[in-house]
Amino acid sequence: MLVVDDQATNIQVLYQILSSDYQVLMATSGAQALALCASKQPDLVLLDLVMPEMDGYQVCQRLKADTATRDIPVIFITAQTDESAEEKGFDLGAVDFISKPINPRIVRARVKTHLMLKAQSDLLRSWAYLDGLTGVHNRRFFDERVAAEMGRAIRNQTALSLVMLDVDFFKRFNDHYGHQAGDDCLRRVAKTLKNSLMRAGDHIARYGGEEFVCLLPDTNFTGAMQLAETIRRDVISLQIEHAQSSVAPFVTVSLGVGCKPEKIHGSANSLISLADTQLYKAKEHGRHRIFG
Ligand code: GH3
Ligand code: MG
Ligand code: MG
Ligand code: MG
């Protein structure tokens, strides 16, 4: 957590109360607090209200206005006891208000409660972005991520690639082996994708029924085509029996690759359409292949 106060002695008091149970970061100004919140993502901020230059209200307002920091809970700690100050704090998005002089046991209890609530909401949020069947990210995650990554790629003039893949003749697979076996197959394909993707910034999501997407920041067309080929080989190497497939005795995938090159502007939608069009061509040209 982060303790923010312009007076070092106040910080020390809180540090002594909390540092045996938690990792405590410290800031002595609003600007420093904002920078630490962005870089370290603390689970809680204990924020002094009265500070020179940027006061606690302003810090809280800025934290709540930025999507990267808005979910960090803020507790105001202040010597001001009037209710309008407290009300204003809550209006700005604070979760609690503690008045000085502080009672160590109360501070510990409130901190503990808010950290627990934060952990619970983080967990729920992470579930909301996961696909229940396969455990990879879901469409909601992908839609948000692709827009964010496109923004970043344009700002930094970096490449951004998208591989879209679809299981071949999956309707026949379900019809022949049953829906349970179909679900198992999807889980195994998803697991293979996770293993095929090597870089930390890569994202996999289930885009629809038997369709997955791999979002690849900082990856050019050649790199994306190579990854697509790895996936194509890894999936058939699973040797999941598929007696009804017209291309192989095993489950296979078709892949479409789209790329926004370094110096070119693009939109998330155009990148998705491109990968989708290429995937369609891969299907048309016989399946178990890659178009890019
Ligand atoms: P193509 O090679 O052209 O992609 O043919 P296909 O049969 O794979 O494509 P189609 O879109 O006709 O059928 C997709 C099938 O995927 C139909 C649907 O029942 C099945 N499916 C979608 N979601 C799930 C799921 O969660 N579990 C299972 N078992 N099947 C699913
Ligand atoms: Mg102060
Ligand atoms: Mg499909
Ligand atoms: Mg299919």
Cα separation, 35 vs 2, whole angstroms = 11
Over residues 128-167, the pLDDT tens digits come to 999 999 999 999 999 999 999 999 999 999 999 999 999 9
ipTM over 0.90: yes
Query: Tokens 């839609």 belong to which residue?
Result: 143
Q: How far is the CA of 211 from the centre of ligand 3 (A)?
A: 6
Q: What is the mean pLDDT of residues 262-271?
A: 94
Q: So what's the pLDDT on residue 2?
A: 98
Q: What is the mean pLDDT of the chain?
A: 96
Q: So what's the pLDDT on residue 197?
A: 84
Q: So what's the pLDDT on residue 59?
A: 97
**For a pocket test of ligand 1, which of 210, 242, 254, 289 has the largest count of ligand atoms closer than 8 A to its C-beta?**
210
Q: So what's the pLDDT on residue 199?
A: 86
Over residues 70-99, the pLDDT tens digits come to 999 999 998 877 888 889 999 999 999 998
Atom of ligand 1 nearest to the CA of 133: 26
Q: What is the mean pLDDT of residues 218-239?
A: 98
